[in-house]
Amino acid sequence: MRLLNVIIAVVAISLFSADAIAQPVREHFTLPTPGGQVLVESIGSCSDRTCPAVLILSGSKGFGATAYDEIGQTFRKAGLDAYLVHVLSADDLHRIATANGARARIALYAQRMPDWIAAVQGVAAYLKGQPHHSGKIAVLGISLGAQIASAASVGRSDIAALVLVDGGFPNGYSQLVRSLPPLLLIWGSSDRTFPVSVGWELRRKAQQLGGPAVLDAYEGEAHDFFLRSRTPNATADHESAAKFLNSYLSQ
């Protein structure tokens, strides 16, 4: 019995160590931007001498989901450097979580949106100037992060590709659009927060502006499916996003 316990303990330690090794190490730094100080986490750096950079913007709950580490690993294997950009500060996240209903949250988003956009653009400009990235930058935004990413990418020559997951333009911004980077839209067909019809309309608008735009709509999936750890559709879409970004950032 004692020998069996020792074997079980050794196996458990081995599994724990393997899992720890598999997790990417996040390196933190803070950047001053026109939208204020922004915490940035580098996650899943690729092994090549130069790698394009992808800015990832979270939804209204921040970067707590373990799926962000999986996205970073997928991007690293595809030759991309992933950065979690905390444009939503700790105070923003608290105010969103404690807002008194949807109307209060929407008012908060409208108030903070200019600073969030300026912060994304500041981080993008900084990373574009880093030799390791050779000036190649893309943005991926999820839900509220997709709203910020879409508005921050309009007319920006320093953003070479854009991925929006379950979210489009903030209120009042879509009529300002004159050009967009190559665009991949990822949506759950059963999304009740941003109906998939929003995605189809955004794809139509992007194509009217003359840019490439693709919509991947997953039948029966809800608003948060992209962040459901290790599920088949989420894993497939992480890989689809990496492939799309690589196709434009590797040119």
**Strands across the sheet with 161-165, in order?**
27-33, 36-43, 81-86, 53-57, 137-142, 161-165, 183-188, 213-218
Kindly state the DSSP code that residue 192 receives in the 8-state scheme: S
- What pTM was computed for the model? 0.88
- d(CA 196, CA 192) in angstroms, rounded, equals 9
In terms of C-beta density within 10 A (0-12 exposed, 13-18 middle, 19 or more buried), how is residue 240 classed? middle
Per-position pLDDT tens, the chain of length 251: 444 343 333 333 333 334 434 455 788 999 999 999 999 999 867 878 889 999 999 999 999 999 999 999 999 999 999 999 999 999 999 999 999 999 999 999 999 999 999 999 999 999 999 998 988 999 999 999 999 999 999 888 889 999 999 998 888 777 777 788 999 999 998 999 889 999 999 999 889 888 899 999 988 898 989 999 999 999 999 999 999 999 999 87
Are 248 and 53 within 8 A, CB to CB? no
Q: How confident is the model at residue 176, as a pLDDT?
A: 72
DSSP 251: -
CA 94-173-85 angle, 5° bins: 40
Domains and CATH numbers, the chain: 27-249 (3.40.50.1820)
φ and ψ of 24, to 5 deg: -70, 145
Helices assigned H by DSSP within the chain: 2-22, 67-77, 90-97, 102-128, 144-153, 196-208, 232-249
The tokens of 172 are what?
């009042």
